[in-house]
Amino acid sequence: MADGRYRSGVNMDAIRQAKIDLAAALRLSARFGFNEGVCNHFSLAVPGLEDRYLLNPHGIHWSMIGASDILLVDGQGRTLEGQTQAELTAFTIHGRVHARHRRATCILHTHMPYATALTCLEDGRLEPVNQNSLRFYGDVAYDPDYNGLAEDAAEGDRIAEALGEKRVLFLGNHGVLVVGPSIAQAFDDLYYLEQACRVQVLAMSTGRPLKRVTDNVAASTKAEMDGGGTYAQAHFDALKRLLDAEDPGYAV
């Protein structure tokens, strides 16, 4: 293993498990239709290391990614371990968000259809109209300014600033970014975000007015959901058991 990749004393078992979990999140996203071609990226700050990140490789379909495919990159997106180089826009966005927001241990960026549909509307917002949307009440940031492909650090910095202290960012005419303290938490949010957006888009398609939950009820419901404890990990573990039974290659 080349010098500079890992420090002595780093828990290699934890890093191996993180690669397995990131591969699982990618395969599950393909299963649920969150992916788009071989675009978009998931990243994770490596446990126990500064300026080291796990990232899915460019050019492999998410439904086929295994743990051994996951790249180890530095803060500039340079590959330290893996068979390919990081795709340019991947670390332009992810690297700058990781650098600015230490709480963003895991970053998931997708163009999943229902959430992206809302980013294509004038003043498109996730409205408090169904129980799943209340999970994100007051915790979604909006960046309405689409500036083309994110190919430089300045654009990455602008996106990182737009996220602020929220855990979800709607990127106008583009897609969404979800950040979390773990893969399980971020994936749980990604899953329920798309469910919430799907229900809202279906409700909007009727042409009838949306029935919004009151601010007081929305806030109290979110507080209850935030106190849910281990639900996200239980959800992710259950989904991994599904992969273990039907698609175990993710762990290879």
Q: Where are the domains of the chain?
A: 17-247
**What's the mean per-residue pLDDT of the chain?**
94
According to DSSP, residue 56 is labeled P
Structure tokens at 251: 């762990």
What pLDDT is stored for residue 8 in this prediction?
Answer: 54
- The answer to whether 75 touches 86, Cβ cutoff 8 Å, is no
pLDDT in tens, 70-87: 999 998 889 999 988 888
Beta bridge partners of 143: 171
What pLDDT is stored for residue 5 in this prediction?
Answer: 65
Q: Which of 141, 139, 114, 127 is nearest to 222 (CA)?
A: 139
According to DSSP, residue 209 is labeled P
pLDDT in tens, 35-65: 999 999 999 999 888 899 999 999 999 999 9
Beta bridge partners of 106: 44, 180
CATH class of 17-247: alpha beta
Quote the CA–CA distance of 33 and 89 in Å, as a whole number: 21
Place of tokens 């749980």: 188
Total Cβ atoms within 10 A of residue 93: 21
Strands (E) across the chain are located at: 41-45, 52-55, 71-74, 79-81, 106-110, 140-143, 168-171, 175-180
Quote the CA–CA distance of 159 and 169 in Å, as a whole number: 9
Instruction: Determine phi and psi for 49, rounding to 5 degrees.
Output: -130, 145
Place of tokens 């709480």: 103
Question: pLDDT tens string for the chain (252 positions)?
Answer: 444 566 555 789 999 999 999 999 999 999 999 999 999 999 999 988 889 999 999 999 999 999 999 999 998 889 999 988 888 888 899 999 999 999 999 999 999 999 999 999 999 999 999 999 999 999 999 999 999 888 888 999 999 999 999 999 999 999 999 999 999 999 999 999 999 999 999 999 999 999 999 999 999 999 999 976 699 999 999 999 999 999 999 999
Q: Which of 133, 137, 138 is nearest to 200 (CA)?
A: 133
Total Cβ atoms within 10 A of residue 230: 9
In terms of DSSP bridges, do strands 52-55 and 71-74 run parallel, antiparallel, or are they unpaired?
antiparallel
In terms of DSSP bridges, do strands 168-171 and 140-143 run parallel, antiparallel, or are they unpaired?
parallel
